[in-house]
Amino acid sequence: MTLIDGIFIDGRWQAGNGATLEVVDPATGRVIAQVSGGDAAAIDTAARAAKRAFPAWKRTPARQRGELLRAIARAVEAERERLVALQMQCNGKPRFEAELDVGDVVATFDYYADCCAAGTGLSGNPVTLPDAAFAASVRFEPVGPVGLIVPWNFPMVTSAWKLAPALAAGCTVVLKPSELTPLTEIELVKIAQQAGLPDGVLNLVCGAGPEVGAALVAHPAIAKLSFTGSNKVGQAVMVSAAERVARVSLELGGKSALIVLDDADLDQAVSLALGGAFFNAGQMCSATSRILVARALYPDFIERFRAAAEALKVAGPDAGAEMGPLISRAQQQRVLGFIEQGLAEGGLLLSDGRRHAQRSDGYFIGPTVFTDLSTDSVLWREEIFGPVACVRSFSDDAEAIALANDSDFGLVATIVGGDVGRTEQVAAELEVGLVWINSPQVIFPHTAWGGFKQSGIGRELGPWGLRAFQEIKHVVASAAP
């Protein structure tokens, strides 16, 4: 098996100096590639390269930076089918999910290319002062070299969400992908290289274990860290960055609610609940795995939801799957442990996905549905990152809002209901960063992504994603001759 270079620094691909990464197809359990990994020394070299490249990239006109982002978008589009197939193989994603991911990458690079072309959020603006003897302006300047650490559940997508605005802002980058899914990031970096990014502007270091990420977070040349992943690791990133007052953005966990009001369309509610809980096999921070249903609709909803969950085809992507495997054996065992804990806590298992874990191929668990869990249950309160949904009823809107907000997290929520004014009123009371009303979890690069409470710090996408990689500078000058 050919060893793939997993280090790209200063415009050159390099062999690794750390542990070799084995990439496993989660639908089969077979090793599909080996990638050379880096270590702390590779991070040091990459960070220094990013620092050297920063002054010239910062001075590159925004319109020119946007042209390069547009070229990346067109190249991803041209390679769409190959990248879709790679997503399916590396993550076990069903084809429709992989196609959405690649489309998201294209849309994100196009959006920030548009920002660069128009100067949106990049050019200075005058500031009105109360004293005519002075004139002032505000500038938005790139924060400097940045470190981007991305997870395995949406590889390439999460990278695009960070990389496109960072490059648009004028920052240089060191990207550290997950050790489980480095192949998609390697391909994205190759595309960016072919698009003509100057040497040192984008650097990649693949690596296993905590050493590589910790070295990136602690490196003095890195002015800003943008991390997506678990709360435990996010806390460690924040502590390390605090030691040198480095800027951080954290996109962390979620335990989100889907609220079915008593005037909801049941077919629509079931469809949105299925997608919210089981898309990407539940391996997403936005999973609406706490499903709250108005008492009048609860019996019908439960029966329809259970039947629909059990009807989903759980398989590898080549078998026409509606839901794929979990990413690894370790993740499969972790989720199975949560299911056992839910049973120990007295939960009623309406749909048992454990039967799929007995298969000889891959790391599967089927859609799993619990009822009768208390609000103190681990399954009700903690992020599972697997296809496990918990359903309970509520008596009125106030109780639904209270149950939804009773969480350490506040990333997203979904509301299903017939009265527009009522759904808007419920949305206004929810302590989350994004609310979908009668909608699947559609994400546009124009809208912000991020949450309240322990779901993170800062926002990605939209103009807010650009601001995450900028410092604000005011200039005040005397108007006197």
At residue 214, the 3 state secondary structure works out as helix
CA nearest to 370, candidates 302, 436, 425, 433: 302
Told to judge if 460 belongs to the known catalytic residues of this protein, a careful annotator would answer no
How far apart CA 289 and CA 308 sit, in angstroms, is 15
What is the DSSP-derived secondary structure letter of residue 197? P
Distance CA 213, CA 154 (A): 18
| Helix orientation angle between 80-91 and 182-195, rounded to the nearest 10 degrees | 160
Nearest to 385 by CA among 256, 237, 273, 258: 256
Which positions ≥6 away from 140 have C-beta within 8 Å? 121, 122, 123, 124, 169, 466, 467, 470, 471, 472, 473
**Among candidate residues 247, 47, 161, the one with its CA nearest the CA of residue 466:** 161
Beta strands, E only, 395-478: 409-410, 412-416, 434-437, 452-453, 456-457, 470-478
285 catalytic, yes or no? yes
Write down the catalytic residue from 90, 115, 116, 285. Answer: 285
Strand partners, 225: 147, 248
Catalytic option among 179, 187, 251, 383: 251
Instruction: Report residue 163 CA to chain centroid gap.
Output: 12
**Cα distances (angstroms) measured from residue 226 to each of 97, 147, 251:** 25, 6, 8
CA angle, corner 353, sides to 348 and 356, nearest 5?
A: 155
HSE-up of residue 40 (Cα within 13 Å, Cβ side): 8
**Could you give the CA distance from residue 142 to residue 154 in angstroms, rounded to a whole number?**
26
| CA distances (Å), origin 28, targets 89, 259, 354, 359 | 9, 36, 17, 10
- Tell me how crowded residue 334 is: count the other CB atoms within 10 A of its CB: 14
- The encoded tokens of residue 161 equal 């969400």
* Spatial CA neighbour of 36 closest among 50, 19, 49: 19
Residue whose tokens read 């989660």:
26
Which positions are catalytic?
251, 285
